[in-house]
Amino acid sequence: AGKVKVSWVCENCGGTFGQWWGTCPTCQTVASVKKFIEAEVSRARGAEVSEAAVRSKSWLSPKSGTMVPLSLADVNMGRNQSEWRIPLAGHFGMEVSRVLGGGIVPGSLLLIGGDPGVGKSTLLLQISAILAQGFNFKGPARIVYVSGEESIEQIGNRADRMGIATKDLFLYSSTDVEDILDKVQNPPPQALIVDSIQTVYLRGVTGSAGNIMQVKECTSAFLRFAKQTNIPVLLIGHVTKTGDIAGPRILEHIVDAVLYMEGERYSSYRLLRSVKNRFGSTDELGVFEMSESGLAAVSNPSEIFLSDNFPDSDVLAGLAIAVVVDGSRTFLIEIQALCVSDPSSASRYANGIKASRADMIIAVLMKQAGLKLQGNAIFLNVVSGFNLTETAGDLAIAAAICSSFLEFPIPNDIAFIGEVGLGGELRAVPRMDKRVIAVAKLGFKRCVIPKAAERTLTSLNLEITILGCKNLKEVINTVF
């Protein structure tokens, strides 16, 4: 029998330790460290496969001794800029490319994470189809999409619904990593897609597909495969709340790049966010809209978080527009507030805004702007389920609360940008120029900003009135 290795692994962050901990020393999660008994991989496999066979499948275990240090000039010889990344064609492809920092890097391992049902398989099938159309390769393309979740007929049906009919896209259904890497090799594809990392397993590793050891070992096997063959591998990973299968978080440090797909179930928009990228910036966000035939890039995403009736219908009290920068995108987002006079309760409810931030803004409005919000239940909501994390949205939150409390609708041609301090003062936020330009572009006439930020905009020559205010009192006097 092979040697048995015992280790303790955190189910949340994947940290591996030599002993048990009640609280994970890395991520501080309580009761997440579990014991793993790992039979030594090469020995365990040796029982079934001959040594020579193991050696030829070099991606299964790290090879030593075959690599020597290479001069930088040799490494980069014969590889010009255009070959360095595989760009994706078309509107959709360009949006994906942008998030990836210009395209797929050959030999890289990519992880695309997201909640079940958010659209990962659809996204990857579309990417596969674009790659397979072969705009980007000199020779014939061969893209292999492997699914451990669906049969090839099911993937075929999905492709059919989406209008994909590319003969260079090859489908395969398997959950055995050795089998997958064996079968896709002949002839070598230009890219390999695996849906999903939680459904595949490696023989010789303890546990069933989806457990932490399997997920980590399989990812490492795909990483070695990608590096040794120079074939990019795109892995899908489900984010799971229940924790019974290991999520993409624990793989982030193994792979070269991590993208997360986000979106509310009731919204047709999907965001693709890069959270790690060894070959580019992580400051990128792609915006897509779902349809019967798959995802389409949204070319002008600034207004997707404004409600439909904006800006022509009757204006209600309690609405204010915030301006948020996320990656290289600027969004205008509608903030809604509802103050209900109710002396018996002072409940607060915030959706899309951190409760502590909302409480602070409410306290500042009472103390520094003299708003008598005591004895009011206050509800806050960010339209479309967007999570407002930037302090640049503070002023719009404050304005929405004022508007509802005073029952004074804010004219629908005003947007608000600025952070609110404890003294009620308005503070400048980064990327003022970018935000104001987005506001002007969407036809707004006025923009309330911190006085201190005015001078950064003087050179812009915008067709919009800038209302610089020092504090919340001034804002109330100017707008209400």
Cβ distance to ligand TYD smaller for residue 98 or 238:
238
Q: Which residues is 426 bridged to in the sheet?
A: 420
Give the burial string for 390-427 (b: 16+ CB within 10 Å, else e).
bbbbbbbbbbbbbbbbeeeebebbbbbbbbbbeebbbe
Cβ distance to ligand TYD smaller for residue 258 or 439:
258
Asked if 249 and 62 count as a contact pair (C-beta separation under 8 A), the reply is no
| CA-based radius of gyration for the chain | 27
For residue 284, give both structure tokens.
Answer: 């990128």
The answer to whether 116 contacts ligand TYD (rule: CB under 6 A) is: yes
The answer to whether 128 contacts Mg ion (rule: CB under 5 A) is: no
Could you tell me the smallest distance in angstroms from the CB atom of residue 117 to ligand TYD?
5
Q: Which of 27, 89, 290, 440 binds ligand TYD (CB under 6 A)?
A: 290
The answer to whether 121 contacts Mg ion (rule: CB under 5 A) is: yes
Q: Which of 9, 295, 361, 399 binds ligand TYD (CB under 6 A)?
A: 295
Counting residues that bind ligand TYD (by CB under 6 A) gives 13
The stretch among 291-299, 314-322, 398-406, 442-450 that binds ligand TYD (CB under 6 A) is 291-299
The answer to whether 148 contacts ligand TYD (rule: CB under 6 A) is: no
Let me know the angle formed at the C-alpha of 115 by 274 and 330, rounded to the nearest 5 degrees: 40
The answer to whether 384 contacts ligand TYD (rule: CB under 6 A) is: no
The answer to whether 156 contacts ligand TYD (rule: CB under 6 A) is: no
- Per-residue x/- track, 63-102, Mg ion (CB under 5 A): ----------------------------------------
Q: Which of 97, 108, 121, 274 binds ligand TYD (CB under 6 A)?
A: 121
Question: Which residues are CB-contacts of 272 (< 8 A; sequence separation ≥ 6)?
Answer: 95, 96, 99, 123, 259, 260, 261, 262, 285, 286, 287, 288
Could you tell me the smallest distance in angstroms from the CB atom of residue 233 to Mg ion?
17
Q: Which residues is 334 bridged to in the sheet?
A: 321
Residue 113: which H helix or E strand, with range? Answer: strand 109-114
Could you tell me the smallest distance in angstroms from the CB atom of residue 92 to ligand TYD?
10
Whole-angstrom CA distances from 436 to 265, 382, 433 are 31, 20, 5
> Where on the chain is the footprint of Mg ion (CB under 5 A)?
121
- Binding residues (CB under 6 A) for ligand TYD: these are 114, 116-122, 290-292, 294-295
